[in-house]
Chain A
């Protein structure tokens, strides 16, 4: 089943996301931890529209890109369907200020979750993700556009394909 929702954490994270006032690298780091977890842990997929652009490109491994907002939403829904009890754990996040209107950051995370939903790589097998078998790294460029902070470009090495293609449980 799904993890019990931590209402206190949910409200705290949502309040951070709603404020979205990024002035220092620390602000960026706090914001994107909250934003990531609101989308993935708490399934507020609609928040993608708030801080991505219509044209955002996510550069993936093996030259596979996710281009455009519809594709970003699609990818998120499909991943959540495959691993519906997903929780994103942060090993670290580091932001750098480029200008008053631009930051870059890198986040290192590992997801925990159970492969219970179908996916493009094959049927579910009940295997579990943990820090022992996966690490994600994701770099983002964040720019202030018309007063709103937006991820304009993203680079991610996530490692899900191998995990989801591995066949039956050990």
Chain B
């Protein structure tokens, strides 16, 4: 099967999970988080951040980073995807819990594979690679139902930032 067909089929399967309108168990929350991570990161559907991230979403990252709103999240994610255009995130562990306010928290541990073949804030592409041994990531999503749609209201995420910075600066 050619790569385009494979990507489209994979994406449509993910879309079918996202389009379900209700999350009522932690298992469904975990599946939703899995689908959201994959469609944004493995399928570069950055525009869907406006559908699945709340307008007041808070994103917290390494070194005290705190950004709010979908625009900021789009720019944050775009920087990483432009630097690693063939990025694939692999989720290796995930679990969720129901929150007292009716929402869900979902944890994911993951690793990324990809090559720095695009320009980054640190300069020209280095050709350095992310792999299972150097790119562990940990993310906690909080989802709440906003009007009729489940959305990310908070995301806390770390992904071996020191390693990534060294790769992009070619200091690895």
- B74 near A118 (CB under 8 angstroms)? no
Q: Find out whether the CB atom of A46 lies under 8 angstroms from the CB atom of B78.
A: no
A→B interface (CB under 8 Å): 1-2, 5, 7, 10, 38, 42-47, 49-50, 52-54, 69-70, 73-74, 77-78, 80-82, 84, 117-120, 146, 150
Residues of A close to B39: CB separation below 8 A: 46
Please indicate the chain B residues that have their CB under 8 angstroms from the CB of A73 in the complex.
Answer: 44, 85-86
In the bound complex, residues from chain B placing their C-beta under 8 Å from that of A54 are 2-4
Enumerate the 9 nearest inter-chain pairs by beta-carbon distance, A residue then B residue, closest first.
Answer: A81-B82, A45-B44, A46-B43, A74-B85, A43-B47, A49-B7, A43-B46, A42-B47, A2-B71
Q: Mark B120-161, 1 if CB is under 8 A from A, else 0.
A: 110110000000000000000000000000000000000000
Can you name 4 extra interface pairs (CB under 8 A) apart from A5-B47, A38-B47, A74-B117?
A: A53-B4, A70-B86, A84-B78, A118-B121
A77 and B82: CB pair below 8 A?
yes
Q: List 9 A-B contacts (CB under 8 A).
A: A5-B50, A43-B45, A43-B78, A49-B4, A54-B4, A73-B86, A84-B78, A117-B78, A117-B79
**Residue contact B118 to A43, C-beta cutoff 8 Å:** no
Expressed in whole angstroms, the Cα–Cα distance for A44 and B44 within the complex equals: 7
| Complex alpha-carbon distance, A7 and B118, angstroms | 30
**Closest CB-CB distance, B2 to chain A, in whole Å?**
5
A69 contacts B3, CB within 8 Å? Answer: yes
Asked if B62 is at the interface of the complex by the 8 Å CB criterion, the answer is no
* Inter-chain contact B11/A46, CB cutoff 8 Å: yes
What A residues does B170 contact at CB under 8 A?
none
